[in-house]
Structure 1
Amino acid sequence: MRPINRIDLNLLGTFEAIYTQGGVSAAGRHLHLSQSAISHALARLRIAFDDELFVRVGNAIVPTALARSVIDPVRDALQGVEQALAAAARFDPATSTRAFRIGLRQANEARVFADIVAHVVRAAPGVTLASVNFRRSDVAEELARGDLDLAIDVASDVTVGLHAIPLQTDTMVVAARRGHPRIAGAIDLITYLAADHVQASPRRSGPGLEDEGLAALDETRRVAIRCQNIWSAWQVVAESDLILTLLGTHAATLLPVADNQIVPLPFEIAPRPLQLLWHPAAERDPGNIWLRRLVQEHASNDEVMPDAHGGDGG
């Protein structure tokens, strides 16, 4: 491998694009360069690194061991340069036309995004804001690449190493239709276990937090219906005797969709605070700092508990 002072640093952006986009053509589209320009840059990279970097396997190209070993340092270097340039510029929300991307899983979008948008529109009319769905396992990488500026999600193993501040602490509640034959303002564990349940999850299978809580009691429930999103599950509850376990803030957001009753969960589940997440490389970016402060101010709240909506209005 050549010494760093003999490598054209402009090539590192091409290397990262080929690696991330999974091919020369896709990297060209991403960088708005011709395929021949990307191919020429790859040839120079192979000479610089004295390695093939990417090899063809069937219809795809895959990175070599050396490419895999250097991609993270290259990304850190590129993002460091980008953030250094961004930090040198003053961010003025009143005049900025910057585009921000906040990672939000579907259910959390309903909890916080509208309020964030309302304040961004007022404070920064030229800024564009996108809510972007993401796979939890990919959030750290997407923040590192700059595909996301911030993310809002619960803490997990994959968020270790990210910067985080708490936004909301929520409790799990149970939703049932008003007029449910066995539920009126409260539910006990026996009734909960005897009921048929609807579960909302984008995953094809797997337990929810409530199942983990029941497992600690050596109990299980019957999930009769599985929906991809919480809105569908809420409507299933409104039109059946199935019940749904969900976060209190989700339930409060969904009441205008259907006026289901909300009652306390009849067993304990440790709360999982919703967090605002960002990559350490964005720590000093003035625009990111501004957006973090705005989100923290307008998406934070105290613990959410069932309220007067829990009663059966008949």
Structure 2
Amino acid sequence: MINDTILRKIDLNLLLAFSVLMQERNVSRAAERLLLGQPGLSAALKRLRETLDDELFVRVGRGLQPTPRALAIAPAIEDALSGIERAIRPPAAFDPKIWQGEFRIGMCDNLESAFFGPLVARLRALSPGARLIGVAADKRDAARMLDDGAYDFSVAVHEEPASWHVRAPLFSQCSVCVYDPAQLKRKAPLTLEDFVNAAHVTVSFEGNSATNVDTVLAKAGLRRQVVATVPRFSALPPALRAMPAIATIPESIARCIAQLHGLEISAPPIDLPADPVTMLYRRVDRADGRSLWFRKLFVDVVEAALKASGCSMTISKAA
């Protein structure tokens, strides 16, 4: 254990002066290396002598001769200064090409369907030795799982973060209507009459059928008929293919399942607020080279995926 009482008595700069004097054995050359005047170095040497209770260096001709005490302590001081220099040296730039390890990301299934595939493909191209681990998460437990080390960051509609977290904006997520045109024989865009009279399927992890759609309709004195609620977005396509019904869901996942299952997309006939999708990560990782690289990669992948899918959402560069 480090003895604080002893270390408080000495200035680290004095040990650096001692090390340079041991190497140079000359006050003028040592002062030049330390960017000090000779009086300043002489004052430092005086403090060293008082602290260590030893003369340390004796002038012999135009040079200095170390005492036995100075020779005895020099190797340990040199090792200590070398260790400190290595510890505070700027870290090497993160190189994804040679890195071996995991990147972990937390997402709910609608964002995972839209972005996980493009992310792992891009990661394989840039960091062949890396693995991508997707962790099921939503905004309810995102902060706790982040603190537990479950992932590098989560992507969701996060609540106000704790002071030790950073919430960075990604994009505003709009909702659209998706349905099977073979079942619900209506052409896009759907009218308000089409929307209110049709059956609806909702998605809720908690099993709640009411959403912000019902809030907006209620303000207009209208109601819709929710006939089913599923716990995940992957259950929607079979339900919509089986009956004439509408699901109003985030645009990113809607375009994915529409393309895969031959479904139709329509703008909703009511004005729905957009949800701010954000990235949540630990403040301690803000300047870490590996974490910075992974977050930037994800932002780039999201931007490309949204453009490729035709989504109207705009990516933020603040992450």
5+ unaligned residues in a row in structure 1: which ranges? 6-83, 307-314
| Equivalent-residue separation in structure 2 for 1:166 and 1:287 (angstroms) | 20
- Where in structure 1 do 4 or more consecutive aligned residues deviate above 4 Å? 87-90, 158-161
* Matching of residue 132 in structure 1 with residue 139 in structure 2: no
Q: Which moved more, 1:260-269 or 1:151-160?
A: 151-160
Cα deviation for residue 89 of structure 1 reads 5.7
Paired amino acid for 1:127: A
| Equivalent-residue separation in structure 1 for 2:174 and 2:277 (angstroms) | 11
**Which residue, 257, 262, 270 being the options, matches 1:259?**
262
| Equivalent-residue separation in structure 2 for 1:107 and 1:204 (angstroms) | 16
- C-alpha change, 1:262 and 1:161, in structure 2 (3 Å) is farther
**Which residue, 90, 93, 98 being the options, matches 1:95?**
98
Is 2:164–2:284's contact at 8 Å kept on the other side of the alignment?
no
| Equivalent-residue separation in structure 1 for 2:109 and 2:194 (angstroms) | 30
Cα deviation for residue 281 of structure 1 reads 1.5
Q: For 1:101, what is the secondary structure of its paired residue?
A: strand
RMSD of aligned Cα (Å): 2.6
Aligned to 2:84: none
| Equivalent-residue separation in structure 2 for 1:251 and 1:231 (angstroms) | 11
* Matching of residue 156 in structure 1 with residue 159 in structure 2: yes
* Matching of residue 210 in structure 1 with residue 217 in structure 2: no
Aligned to 1:230: 233
Paired amino acid for 1:108: L
* Matching of residue 242 in structure 1 with residue 245 in structure 2: yes
**Which residue, 268, 282, 301 being the options, matches 1:279?**
282
**Which residue, 123, 139, 144 being the options, matches 1:141?**
144
The structure having more radius of gyration, on CA atoms, is: 2
Q: For 1:207, what is the secondary structure of its paired residue?
A: coil
Paired amino acid for 1:131: G
- C-alpha change, 1:305 and 1:283, in structure 2 (3 Å) is closer
* Matching of residue 117 in structure 1 with residue 120 in structure 2: yes
Cα deviation for residue 181 of structure 1 reads 5.1
Q: For 2:239, what is the secondary structure of its paired residue?
A: helix
| Equivalent-residue separation in structure 2 for 1:280 and 1:164 (angstroms) | 9
5+ unaligned residues in a row in structure 2: which ranges? 5-86, 314-319
Paired amino acid for 2:126: A
| Equivalent-residue separation in structure 2 for 1:201 and 1:160 (angstroms) | 29
Cα deviation for residue 117 of structure 1 reads 0.9
Q: For 1:192, what is the secondary structure of its paired residue?
A: helix
* Percent identical residues: 21
Cα deviation for residue 198 of structure 1 reads 0.8
| Equivalent-residue separation in structure 1 for 2:237 and 2:231 (angstroms) | 11
| Equivalent-residue separation in structure 2 for 1:248 and 1:204 (angstroms) | 21
| Equivalent-residue separation in structure 1 for 2:204 and 2:144 (angstroms) | 23
- C-alpha change, 1:216 and 1:160, in structure 2 (3 Å) is farther
Is 1:155–1:272's contact at 8 Å kept on the other side of the alignment?
no
TM-score (norm 2): 0.63
**Which residue, 166, 169, 179 being the options, matches 2:169?**
166
Cα deviation for residue 251 of structure 1 reads 1.5
- C-alpha change, 1:147 and 1:122, in structure 2 (3 Å) is same
Cα deviation for residue 244 of structure 1 reads 0.9
Cα deviation for residue 88 of structure 1 reads 4.2
* Matching of residue 304 in structure 1 with residue 307 in structure 2: no
Q: For 2:140, what is the secondary structure of its paired residue?
A: helix
TM-score (norm 1): 0.64
